[in-house]
Amino acid sequence: MPKRKQEQGSITNGVKEKPASQFKSKLARTDTLIKAAGVAGNGTSNYAEAEFPFKLSSAEELFASFISPCSVSTFFDEYWEQKPLLLANRTEIGCIAHYLFSKQILEDLTKKHEIDYDGDVCISRYRNEKRESLNGDGRMKLSDLRRLMVKQKATLQFHQPQRFQEILWRIMEHLETKFDCLVGANVYMTPGGSQGLAPHYDDVEVFILQLEGEKRWRLYKSQQELPRNYSEDLSQSDIGKPTHDVILKPGDLLYFPRGIVHQAATPESCSHSTHITFSTYQHNTWADYLSKGIHRMLSSAFESNVSFRRGLPRKFLSDHKLSSKDNSVIQNLIGRLSHEVSSAHQQTVQEMRLNFIANRLPPYRDRNEVEEIQLQPKGYHVTHMKLKYPGHTCVVVEDSSMDIFTCMRAEDRVKDEDCMEEDEDGEDVAERNGDVEDDDDDSGGESDEETGGSEEGYSNGHCKREDVFKVYHSLGNDREMHMMATSQTEPAGYTFPMKLLKAFRHLEASNGQWLPVGDLSVDGAVDGMMFGDLVECKYGK
């Protein structure tokens, strides 16, 4: 791969990049930039909003800047789930990439935190077409890290760095909102002249961002298009010739779909390479949707159509072959199931979204900021409202056949993660399902007069279902357990009177945009606290 002339404007996907010299003066102000972006403290936000290369104001703007200079429409039309995309020569991002994560940051973490071999890191090395696991026991010390990388030439995989780096928290929270799906991350550090993993493919969509040094990536034709499961280690003789052979430099981004066979190594000329992988869309397919919806469709069809209730033919279980008559009956029944899709869709999507809300990252809030209740000024009325955290809520109108249930208290909740693989380009974004626990509190689920909603987990509602709806949210989710825990979790939520349902639906649909209260169709006076801390308000006289 030819050397890039850093002092000249380079062109990637037809967009001219600024030369690195234009950013040297900015690097002197990087501490301010990073603080403002959310890595440390509560810096001045003006600089970050204006010049931080990843735009953090919304999920849409973040993703657009994340894959720049490729447009969002081009990405989803031409690359998503189809073919790899390389975005190189992103000089501005390259200048700050190591502030997202670096070898120095990991060394500092080993001094301040208990970084555990069992849950936080995975150490491996690929030699002579075999992968070796070099994991230790207990806490990984700074001396262990240096010994593994320098003497043993091992690759160190650090799980879910967003637990420690606020800027990664902000980026990934926006990515989860954009994809409406869990997003995980791993950081990989590989010494020069070394490779950590064998060739393989994965079951996740992967975005690889180079942070330090260089990494050579070789991609190969997929053995199965969009596989459900990841592969075992593959031999060099099984994978053929590479379709892509590229070297990533700081700021470069490589995307490829699940199923693409790949391997990566650090060139001898580099002291070490650091990159981060963002992975998503594990088990988020039509098959997964249907697997959850089919039983609902069958239940509905069983009640409404006698054909589904008729008994099996005699000797049906003894016959080794399916008769043409029975085959026609089965096909006819499957066809009739299509009439039940609409009735099952809402509950199926609701189940999947509640799992997402329960396990996603919470919205970013600066740790130095104090959350204050937004009181309505005396003599003022609400003029506009907007949803404070778009993408972090789920409205549920309970089925009349179900008991209203409560969720575990925020301080008792943990994230559910089923770690099944430790690959250089992706990690498990497992499905989450759990039973809901009943709370012993018998105080009822009516909406609170002051806040407009009762926090679930502090009241066990057995009120009339037709009088209330629920808004589940991720505001109290534990960022430090994101994609790490193995215990069950449920989303926390508020209960509101049904008369506010239409208004909240409007707020959700507006995606964080201000709405005049007149558009919310609320009967009576609009109270600034009627949706609690889920909304923001503007006031006027």
Q: State whether 301 and 375 are in the same domain.
A: no
Q: State whether 158 and 300 are in the same domain.
A: no
pLDDT, greater one: 418 or 232: 232
Is 53 a member of any domain?
A: no
Among candidate residues 259, 280, 301, the one where a domain is terminated: 280
For 219-267, give the DSSP string: EE--SSSS-SS------HHHH-S-SEEEEE-TT-EEEE-TT-EEEEEB-
Q: State whether 297 and 276 are in the same domain.
A: no
Is 140 a member of any domain?
A: yes
Q: Is the pLDDT of residue 188 over 70?
A: yes
With b meaning 16 or more CB within 10 Å and e meaning fewer, what string describes 130-148? eeeebeeeeebeeebbeeb
> Residue 286's pLDDT is what?
97
Is 54 a member of any domain?
A: no
What are the residues whose beta carbons fall under 8 Å from the beta carbon of 516, sequence distance 6 or more?
Answer: 383, 384
Q: Are 94 and 251 in contact (CB under 8 A)?
A: yes
> Residue 24's pLDDT is what?
43
Is 392 a member of any domain?
A: yes
- 393-396 and 121-127 beta bridge pairing: unpaired
> Residue 319's pLDDT is what?
86
> Residue 530's pLDDT is what?
82
Token pair listed for 361:
């990252």
Q: State whether 273 and 296 are in the same domain.
A: no
Q: Cα-flanking dihedrals φ and ψ of residue 225, to 5°?
A: -70, 125
Among candidate residues 264, 280, 296, the one where a domain is terminated: 280
Is 493 a member of any domain?
A: yes
Q: Is the pLDDT of residue 497 over 70?
A: yes
Q: State whether 216 and 247 are in the same domain.
A: yes
Q: Is the pLDDT of residue 414 over 50?
A: no
Residue 61: its H or E element = helix 59-66
HEC secondary structure over 379-418: CCEEEEEEECCCCCEEEECCCCCCCCCCCCCHHHCCCECC
Q: Is the pLDDT of residue 139 over 50?
A: yes
DSSP state, 453?
Answer: S
Dihedral of alpha carbons 221, 222, 223, 225, sign: negative
- In whole angstroms, give the CA distance from residue 353 to residue 471: 12
* Average pLDDT of every residue of the chain: 82
Q: State whether 115 and 253 are in the same domain.
A: yes
What are the residues whose beta carbons fall under 8 Å from the beta carbon of 263, sequence distance 6 or more?
Answer: 126, 195, 197, 198, 199, 200, 217, 218
Q: State whether 227 and 309 are in the same domain.
A: no
Q: State whether 244 and 310 are in the same domain.
A: no
Token pair listed for 220:
């190969």
Residue 509: its H or E element = helix 501-509
Task: Check which CATH number belongs to the domain holding 120 and give it.
Answer: 2.60.120.650
Residues β-bridged to residue 122: 157
> Residue 72's pLDDT is what?
99
pLDDT average, residue stretch 481-486: 87
Per residue in 437-471, pLDDT (tens digit) is 444 444 333 333 333 455 543 333 445 556 899 99
Q: Is the pLDDT of residue 2 over 60?
A: no
Task: Check which CATH number belongs to the domain holding 306 and give it.
Answer: 1.10.10
Q: State whether 265 and 291 are in the same domain.
A: no
> Residue 426's pLDDT is what?
54
Preceding amide of 516 cis, omega within 30: no
pLDDT average, residue stretch 113-133: 96
Task: Check which CATH number belongs to the domain holding 481 and give it.
Answer: 3.90.930.40
Per residue in 9-66, pLDDT (tens digit) is 333 333 334 444 444 444 444 444 555 555 443 333 333 445 799 999 999 999 999 9
Is 67 a member of any domain?
A: no
Number of domains comprising the chain: 3
Structural domain of residue 156, as residue ranges? 85-280
State the pLDDT confidence band at 424, using cuts at 50, 70 and 90: low
Is 253 a member of any domain?
A: yes
> Residue 255's pLDDT is what?
99
pLDDT, greater one: 425 or 151: 151
* pTM, to two decimals: 0.81
Q: State whether 258 and 321 are in the same domain.
A: no
Q: State whether 233 and 338 are in the same domain.
A: no
> Residue 527's pLDDT is what?
79
Q: State whether 118 and 260 are in the same domain.
A: yes
State the pLDDT confidence band at 370, using cuts at 50, 70 and 90: low
Per residue in 318-328, pLDDT (tens digit) is 988 999 999 99
Q: Is the pLDDT of residue 88 over 50?
A: yes
Among candidate residues 297, 321, 347, the one where a domain is terminated: 347
Is 353 a member of any domain?
A: no
> Residue 427's pLDDT is what?
47
